[in-house]
Amino acid sequence: MAILVVGSVALDEVETPFGGRKDALGGAAVYFGLAASYFTSVQLVGVVGEDFAQEHLDLLAARGMDLGGLVTAPGKTFRWGGRYGYDFNARDTLYTDLNVFADFDPTIPAAFRQTPYVFLANIDPTLQLRVLDQVASPEVVGLDTMNYWIERTPEKLKRVLERIQILLINDSEARELAGEPNLHKAALAILEAGPRLLVVKKGEHGALAFARDLLFAVPGLPMENVVDPTGAGDAFAGGFLGYLAASGDLSTEGLRRATIYGSVLGSFCCEAYSVDRLVDLSRGEIEERFETFRELTRFEASRTAGTQ
């Protein structure tokens, strides 16, 4: 089944101690869409400015993405700049120039309104609600949000949470959303607020999936060559929901696999600047890394239990 993603399309500037990149393709909808494109058809709704290079559009189209909902507006594309230190888990935002994204009011093309899977990337909950008002009742709506909206528009966000099935956020966001420092308790409280499934992304520490009948954890893959973790959370969401949309398997076994595919795409994302690694993957590489996660985490019970 196809998946519709609504969110930011950006031009990023990234600095790390080892190098950097300017005017690089970025944005949550882009990272999500590219990751999901390895599993299913992706429809993208977003806005760019007149400075958005044709090569970026070509690159998205080459991954089979339907750009019928990507509007070009007068002005500049959303631009974000960030700097990582030696600890890639923390970054400083250098600037956030919303530009044409400031007036983003997503219009879902008629051809996308029946799409059964929807991902609302991190944008103003008011806009997320407007998207939901435009689509026919989708089978699965996935959602991302951030501390900014948790603090500034909690009531709007609450209404969004009541209308979605899968929330994918990071651990500090989960704690803040629930007002609860214990992550497990926070997760249970969030499940009471609407979503059937909560996926907590923890960067290099992996991810957790919580549902009424599921508690699943995947560790982060230790990586020697982290180049740029920008977009890894969105790539995770793309791998996760892309796999679900393709398989239609919403069983707990399917959700476990989706969490692994999310981890796989998130890990690839970190291996190069911008979206470089997400545009040239092969099915074989994805399946190989799925198996890497199995080898990373598998263990057998001992034949002699050993305890006394």
Reduce the secondary structure of 256-305 to three states and give it as a string.
HHHHHHHHHHHHHHCCCCCCHHHCCCCHHHHHHHHHHHHHHHCCCCCCCC
Site string for its own copies, 64-83 (x = CB under 8 A): --------------------
Measured from the CB atom, is 98 or 189 closer to its own copies?
189
In the block, tokens 């791998």 appear at 239
In the block, tokens 């050993």 appear at 306
Torsion of CA 219, 151, 182, 261, to 10 degrees: -20
CA distance 147 to 210: 20
Q: Which residues lie below 8 Å from residue 298, measured CB to CB, with a gap of 6+?
A: none
Measured from the CB atom, is 107 or 182 closer to its own copies?
182
Q: Which of positions 160-219 make contact with its own copies (CB under 8 A)? A: 181-185, 187-188, 202, 204-206, 208, 210, 215-219
Shortest distance in whole angstroms from residue 54 CB to its own copies: 26
Per CB under 8 A, the segment of 36-44, 46-54, 114-122, 150-158 that binds its own copies is 36-44
In the block, tokens 């599993």 appear at 39
Residue 167: name the closest of 121, 129, 131 by CA: 121
Q: If binding is defined by CB under 8 A, does position 305 make contact with its own copies?
A: yes
Footprint of its own copies (CB under 8 A):
38-40, 86-87, 181-185, 187-188, 202, 204-206, 208, 210, 215-224, 226, 243, 246-247, 249, 253-254, 256-257, 259-261, 283, 286-287, 290-291, 294-302, 304-308
